[in-house]
């Protein structure tokens, strides 16, 4: 019976995730929805060429969007693309293709190798979700067989 309640709660969370951006359970907010990730993949030299107007330097990063449940990326909604990123300002800069090619060539970088998602962002959330569903199913079937054994046999 406990596993049925847990399965109901899990289904309820999934339904609520479709309608809201956060679910609250006893005052704890569980963030649900799309989230952008900027990950630095290469650091440029701190030269005037890569300096922002405020005096900070940009690096090369990937930017992608993923649907998350409690900060666990379940699936990627927007594939990664290379951008300029200033960590000090937490600002993303769009780079046109020609300038990006020049930057990559000047720093001897391979854009295709850098523009990849990590294992966690590509598959990690799916594995966690599959493990939770497997545990729920296992608990449901084990609990079900325990209930059948507990009933006395009728003669």
Model confidence pLDDT, tens digit, residues 77-131: 999 999 999 998 989 999 999 999 998 998 899 988 999 888 988 898 889 888 9
12 belongs to a structural domain: no
Mean per-residue pLDDT over the chain, rounded = 82
105 belongs to a structural domain: yes
67 belongs to a structural domain: yes
153 belongs to a structural domain: no
154 belongs to a structural domain: no
Q: What is the mean pLDDT of residues 25-32?
A: 76
Is the CA virtual torsion 52, 57, 63, 66 positive or negative? negative
95 belongs to a structural domain: yes
Read off the tokens for 138. Answer: 């296992």
Is 74 strand, coil or helix? strand
- In contact, 64 and 37? CB cutoff 8 Å: yes
Model confidence pLDDT, tens digit, residues 47-74: 898 888 889 999 999 999 999 988 889 9
65 belongs to a structural domain: yes
Domain count, the chain: 1
Q: What region, left, alpha or beta, does residue 61 occupy, with left being phi > 0 and alpha being psi -120 to 50 degrees?
A: beta
121 belongs to a structural domain: yes
pTM: 0.67
- In contact, 92 and 64? CB cutoff 8 Å: no
- In contact, 39 and 62? CB cutoff 8 Å: yes
Domain residue limits at 45: 33-146
């Amino acid at each position: 019976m406990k596993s049925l309640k847990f399965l109901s709660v899990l289904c309820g969370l999934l339904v609520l995730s479709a309608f809201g951006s956060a679910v609250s359970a006893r005052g704890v907010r569980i963030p649900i929805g799309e989230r952008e990730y900027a990950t630095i993949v290469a650091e440029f030299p701190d030269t005037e060429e890569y300096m922002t107007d405020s005096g900070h330097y940009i690096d090369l990063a990937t930017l992608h969007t993923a649907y998350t449940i409690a900060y666990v990326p379940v699936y990627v909604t927007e594939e990664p693309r290379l951008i300029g990123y200033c960590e000090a300002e937490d600002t993303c800069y769009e780079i046109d293709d020609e300038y990006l090619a020049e930057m990559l060539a000047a720093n001897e970088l391979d854009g295709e190798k850098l523009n990849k998602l990590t294992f966690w962002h590509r598959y990690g959330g799916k594995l966690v979700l599959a493990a939770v569903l497997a545990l729920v199913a296992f608990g449901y079937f084990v609990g079900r067989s325990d209930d059948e054994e507990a009933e006395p046999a009728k003669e």
